[in-house]
Structure 1
Amino acid sequence: MGDPATADRPDTAPGAVYLITGIQAAGKSTVAQALAQRLPRSAHVHGDVFRRFVIGGRAEMCATPSAEALRQLELRHHLAASVADEYARAGFTAIVQDVVLGELLPWMIDRIRTDPLYVIVLSPRPAAVAAREAGRAKKAYGTFTVEQLDEVLHAETPAIGLWLDTTDLTVDQTVDEILRRAEPVRDPSGA
């Protein structure tokens, strides 16, 4: 018997996953949405949604996070990876976007089972991020500074996937670069 999610669609092939990360206000949500809109079967998975689902007992991230804040961050990333895999299994390209930095990047990559998996790291210069943050209603910075997160990005995050300095790129140009240059981070054949 076939998979119930695709049983009525014999033409549905497994999809792919794009993980888009970067520091807060780097443009992840905007770029992920634009990428999803360019693809014929796509789903935009907002990682931060899983943080907002926690009502009682939420532990927020900060410069010196508690063990509980780290546990909740890992849970959030694990849930986003699982949802992305389910969309891909149903034949969609899932675009997951969230702040996934430092040692958590390879950790999350290990949780995403779908191949191909593309990792995109948006890395605009700190001055551009600060300007974007100043110009938007939603404020991402409070316990961190742009410079602190940029340091974590560049000093502690492994160089996996396609890193893009998007300082001087429009959203459309960024998506063009992703579609043109991104390569899977794992060999889909399993070799």
Structure 2
Amino acid sequence: MTNNNQIASNSKNERGIFLITGIMAAGKSTIAQLLSERLEKSVHVRGDVFRKMIVNGRVEMSGTPSLEALEQLRLRYKLSAKVSDEYYQSGFNVVLQDVIIGPMLQEMVEYIQNRPLFVIVLTPRPEIVAAREASRQKKGYGAIDIPSLENVLQTETPKIGMWIDSSNLSPEETVDVILRRVFSEAKIE
């Protein structure tokens, strides 16, 4: 039984893995948390946790990442996928969020073994992202600039799943859009 704050995964109560991506400050963490709160028996997997676990030897991404930075990023994605698969196999709806853009989005889809998998790409306009980033206490961009990330998102990221321009939507409205459209537009086979 569901109420206004909670919604079944779909009409058949089918579980799924919901992958939410976009560039930094696109709203991934907020949307993933709100979505997971509205799904029955759910978990929110934050991919960045695996980056933060590296105490010594962490190599950050940059505009021209080193091979080691890319390998650490792939490791982070593989760990996120494995954790998501384990939660899913234990009966949970999984909402996984991370910055996964460019060709690596297809790699991530392949790392996740369980289905159904739903890919949701948040695409607020760059000026909205810039305003969000400016209002953050902890800045996420460092050496990577918004226009460069936006370019990778728009020109190098496979057009799979459901893409949502959330520029003019509140977080709650964004989740409403996701729940209305996800089962028909975001499913990856």
After superposition, the C-alpha distances for 1:99-124 in whole angstroms (9 at most, x for unaligned) are 00101000000010111100000000
Pick closer, same or farther for the CA change 1:71–1:14 going to 2, 3 Å. Answer: farther
After superposition, the C-alpha distances for 1:111-163 in whole angstroms (9 at most, x for unaligned) are 10111100000000000000001111121111111111001100100101000
1:139 corresponds to which residue? 139
Tell me if the contact between 1:15 and 1:91 (Cα under 8 Å) persists in the aligned partners: yes
After superposition, the C-alpha distances for 1:150-184 in whole angstroms (9 at most, x for unaligned) are 01100100101000000000111110111111135
Count of residue pairs brought into register by the alignment: 175
Aligned 1:115-126 pairs, distance under 5 A: 115-126=115-126
Gaps of 5+ in 2: 1-12
Aligned 1:100-119 pairs, distance under 5 A: 100-119=100-119
2:23 corresponds to which residue? 23
Tell me if the contact between 1:14 and 1:89 (Cα under 8 Å) persists in the aligned partners: no
Aligned 1:27-106 pairs, distance under 5 A: 27-106=27-106
SS where residue 187 of structure 2 aligns?
coil
Pick closer, same or farther for the CA change 1:14–1:88 going to 2, 3 Å. Answer: farther
TM-score, structure 1 normalization: 0.89
Larger Rg: 1
Gaps of 5+ in 1: 1-12
Cα distance in structure 2, aligned partners of 1:138 and 1:147: 19
Q: Residue type matched to 2:188 in 1?
A: R
More moved, 133-142 vs 154-163: 133-142
Cα distance in structure 2, aligned partners of 1:147 and 1:18: 26
> What is the RMSD of the two structures over their aligned residues, measured on CA atoms?
1.2
